[in-house]
Amino acid sequence: MAHMGAWPALVAELRGQMDAGTDVRDAPVQAIVQRWQQLVRDSYCGDDAALEALVSEAIICEPDLRVDGIDDALLAYLQKAHVAAHHMPQENAGPKPSAMMVAMQRAAHQLLEHPRVLDDPLALTILGATEEQALRADLDKYRTPMALGLRSSVVVRSRLAEDEWARAVERGVRQYVILGAGLDTGAYRHRDAPGRVFEVDLPATQAWKRARLGETGIEIPPSLSFVPVDFESVSLAEGLALAGFDARQPAYFSWLGVTMYLDEEAVVETLRFIAGCARGSAVLLEYVMPLAGLPPMMRIAMEQVGAQLAERGEPWKSFFEPAALADKLATLGFSHSHTRAPDELNRRYLADRVDGLHIGPIPGRLMLAVV
């Protein structure tokens, strides 16, 4: 089977954690559990939950079916990790507040603005009945100047990401990687796009999304692979390899609304991996400029936003000057890069609108970098 070659590396990584004395509840081990479960699905049972349970039990209980390299000690460690996964505190389950906020803004756009910048008929569906009802009952909340400004940025960046995906397909690229996919619906709306789509996200967020897809009846296309990865504990290269990503072939990456929540080292390491992909690969990434360089009123507003995010457990950690980031990308091996400033995006997507959609002088920027 196509994924069988991924087992030895995963077994070796699990043994390394056991030999190091890592608690089965710690993030590195729980990340392995998530990837183990994904590999079971990819290798044996797809999205058949009942079959997955039978296969998982057989791998654990039947000596003749055990994956090579698993002995009784490692099996006991794995079982403890699986048990721990089902008894972990649930405060971190589901999407991060920022991911849900973005999803709500995309959904509000479908109801409030015409013509739509981002035509997403699944944006409301994927919220689920409770969240959709709450949105429809309080639409005035999404008509304020602050909400309108945020929504302008959200729908434009999503539209740009999908436009660049289409351009990549025209160039012959057949791998699309969405880093920090959240509740993005692109793979489900463009089911006939050629190639494979890889949704990368935190294990808990991804598990929640898969459950939500099942609840709402949104079918998972056969071209989509889920890649559970915590950027600060598991390498992107490792997670993608287990999901069948081919680093020898070019790929297009979109990385929106994530870098500001990561340490700079984690951001650079991810960019280093992308730079090492086949020539013709590209990444559209969103980053935040240092707040100190903003006009006073904008700086105060953004500092308040940052403080609110930190209170919800999502502090901004990384900031980049456009020129310095471009230099860093060149050093990593990207052939060229270009930051798309608000004025350019307004002209391209929001010109001549009368509904108030407009991207102001915010610190967030979008940069396309090509290998």
Q: Of how many residues is the chain composed? A: 371
Instruction: Please name which of 323, 367, 324 lies closest in space to residue 345, comparing C-alpha atoms.
Output: 367
Work out the end-to-end distance of the chain between its first and last CA atoms, rounded to an integer number of angstroms.
Answer: 31
Read off the pTM. 0.76
pLDDT on residue 89: 46
- Using an 8 Å Cβ cutoff, are 223 and 156 in contact? no
Task: State the average pLDDT for the chain.
Answer: 87
The 10 Å CB-count burial string (b at 16+, else e) for 264-280 is eebbbbbbebbbebeeb
Pairing, β 364-370 against β 336-340: antiparallel
- Using an 8 Å Cβ cutoff, are 117 and 349 in contact? yes
Return the minimum-mean-pLDDT range out of 55-59, 274-278, 329-333. Answer: 55-59
pLDDT greater at residue 124 or residue 34: 124
The H-or-E segment that residue 146 falls in is: helix 145-170
Q: Is the pLDDT of residue 264 over 70?
A: yes
User: How far is residue 32's CA from residue 296's CA, in Å, rounded to a whole number?
Assistant: 45
Instruction: Sketch out the chain's domains with CATH numbers.
Output: 4-85 (no CATH), 97-370 (3.40.50.150)
Please write the tens of the pLDDT for every residue from 349-364.
999 999 999 998 889 9
pLDDT on residue 92: 47
Q: Is the pLDDT of residue 47 over 70?
A: no
Instruction: Please name which of 43, 9, 28, 39 lies closest in space to residue 85, comparing C-alpha atoms.
Output: 28
Kindly state the average pLDDT of the residues 117-122. Answer: 97
Give residue 61's identity as a one-letter amino acid code. Answer: C
Kindly state the average pLDDT of the residues 202-217. Answer: 89
Share of the chain above pLDDT 70, in %: 87
Phi and psi dihedrals of 250, rounded to 5?
-65, 155
Please write the tens of the pLDDT for every residue from 152-171.
999 999 999 999 999 999 99
Question: 286 falls in which pLDDT band (50, 70, 90)?
Answer: very high
Kindly state the average pLDDT of the residues 261-285. Answer: 96
pLDDT on residue 245: 95
In the DSSP assignment, the letter for residue 128 is -
